[in-house]
Amino acid sequence: MALASGSLQFYKLISIELDKSIKSSKNEVWEIIDKDYILSLNNELKDKINFLREKGDIGLSLTSEIPLSEPVELRMKHIFSIFTFIRWFNIYF
């Protein structure tokens, strides 16, 4: 299976790696960001992936732009930002 930007399998792998990063993070990172909130976002991502898979959707909605007139919804760029920050923090601090 090719890992295209709309691949739910790719998003699932990212979610799994985020779980690993959360578990292995230094405690100091949680003084900056809320661990419970990050866990809830990752759980929301897992739920969304399962929902899209059941619908037969490839997950393009997880990378689409959000119109300014619409409420903010979880996107992969939010997950990547969190994932990057946690990894960066663990490397440099």
Give the number of other CB atoms < 10 A from CB of residue 11: 22
Instruction: Identify whether the C-beta of residue 59 lies closer than 8 Å to the C-beta of residue 11.
Output: yes
Q: Would the pTM of this model clear 0.75, i.e. be above it? A: yes
pLDDT digits (tens, 9 = 90+) for 6-18: 589 999 999 999 9
Instruction: Identify whether the C-beta of residue 18 lies closer than 8 Å to the C-beta of residue 42.
Output: yes
Instruction: Identify whether the C-beta of residue 81 lies closer than 8 Å to the C-beta of residue 14.
Output: no
- Interior/surface letters 27-36, b for 16+ CB within 10 angstroms, e for the rest: eebeeeeeee
pLDDT digits (tens, 9 = 90+) for 20-72: 999 999 999 999 999 999 999 999 999 999 999 898 888 888 988 989 999 99
